[in-house]
Amino acid sequence: MKKILIVFGTRPEAIKMAPLVKEFELHPEEFDVRVCVTAQHREMLDQVLTFFDIKPQYDLDLMKPGQDLYGLTAAIITELKPVLENFRPDYVFVHGDTTTTMASSIAGFYSGAKVCHIEAGLRTHNKYAPFPEEINRQITGRLTDYHFAPTNASKENLLRENIDTNNILVTGNTVIDALIQSVEKVKREPSPLVKELDNKLNNASLLLVTGHRRENHGDGFIRICEALKTIAIERKELQIVYPVHLNPKVLEPVNRILGNIENIHLIEPLAYHDFIWMMDRAKIIITDSGGVQEEAPSLGKPVLVMRETTERPEAVDAGTVILVGTNSQKIINETYALLDDDTHFKEMSSRHNPYGDGNACIRIVNFMKELELKKALEK
């Protein structure tokens, strides 16, 4: 039996790893699977663990308010050591491009385990955008033995870095597995919280906003908030819902600039099922999130992405996503274009599934089974 340690720490990693944990758990004869959370996030991680009913065997409980990259990176590597020495996994699974991803892949490599990277091969080739995620995923890519790429474009990026094609599998993104497994139930049974919020919206068009990227902290967030304020004031018939990320560098400018505007609802981060419901309810989504860029095309929602560059070109190519950066005027103009030009809105809101068919986790687990079979035959 092969031992697998699945490590994650933030909200998006948890959402995207949850269906993989569940899929591995269907094969207890072949895999002894344990989950280790670094808890780089706390409340936002726990919301996801509760929704998917995942009880980690190891919880490093590392989040500190206002944490910095130095301390967090060091703590993850150090605190993973006893877990790795105790469990001695054959494979360590990491996801995406957070500090948890990068530091856990280093620790996994030090332990002698094979490193398996989910959502491998995304690149902007700009060291500073997104910061520090682009470098996190490049470092993780160097340490990885088996790369699970969401799309052909991400596989191509890995091939250009001379990764052996036999060690790459194109799977689709596991976020679509999570979405498909949750969306119907969420639509059928909206929670009391979203029902109450929806009542306040009074059938108005909804603009849903999220934002947290480090490269937007400071001036970028001020320009984003100024744009939202202008939109709210000039378009009083519109309602804006903004579940604000708990990072103090985000909370401060958002509350200062957007607090007390009648048609802007600043709320706490929504639990995953409530957020899916809100995405489905929204007319337009404005975000700098990676995960939301992947989910929204499946729901047929136009997305304005507050970034200069994206490692997710598929949705831009499909026409559901437009990059607006953090230029206030551009955010305002593109929002008004969607509100005022019905043809443009319809073009951007047709459904696309560039990120997968919901079977990514089955493909990953099958790959691992075949890998073990091949190894057994070679012996």
Residue 117 is a binding residue for ligand UD1 (CB under 6 A): no
Q: Binding partner of residue 243 among ligand UD1, ligand UDP, none, CB under 5 to 8 Å per kind?
A: ligand UDP
What long-range pairs does 229-232 form, CB within 8 A, spacing at least 24?
229/257, 229/258, 229/261, 229/264, 230/328, 230/332, 231/207, 231/331, 231/332, 231/335, 231/336, 232/258, 232/261, 232/262, 232/263, 232/264
Our CB check for ligand UD1 shows the closer of 20 and 75 to be 75
Sites of contact with ligand UDP (CB under 6 A): 11-12, 15, 175, 210, 212, 243, 269-270, 272, 275, 289-292, 295
Tell me the catalytic residues: 97, 119, 133, 212, 214, 245
Q: Which does 67 bind (CB under 5 to 8 A by kind): ligand UDP, ligand UD1, none?
A: ligand UD1
Phi, psi of 310 (to 5 degrees): -135, 145
Residue 249: CB minimum distance to ligand UD1, A: 7
Q: Which of 19, 89, 108, 132 binds ligand UD1 (CB under 6 A)?
A: 132
The Cα 194–Cα 53 span in angstroms is 21
User: Is the CB of 9 or the CB of 89 nearer to ligand UDP?
Assistant: 9
Q: Give 36 or 296: the residue with its C-beta nearer to ligand UDP.
A: 296
Sort 261 into a burial class: Cβ within 10 Å, 0-12 / 13-18 / 19+.
middle
Asked whether the beta carbons of 119 and 173 are under 8 A apart, the reply is: yes
**Residue 134 contact among ligand UDP, ligand UD1, none, beta carbon within 5 to 8 Å by kind:** none
Please say whether the beta carbons of 306 and 332 come within 8 A. no
Binding partner at 42 among ligand UDP, ligand UD1, none, C-beta below 5 to 8 Å by kind: ligand UD1
Asked whether the beta carbons of 287 and 295 are under 8 A apart, the reply is no
Residue closer to ligand UD1 by CB (options 67, 167) is 67
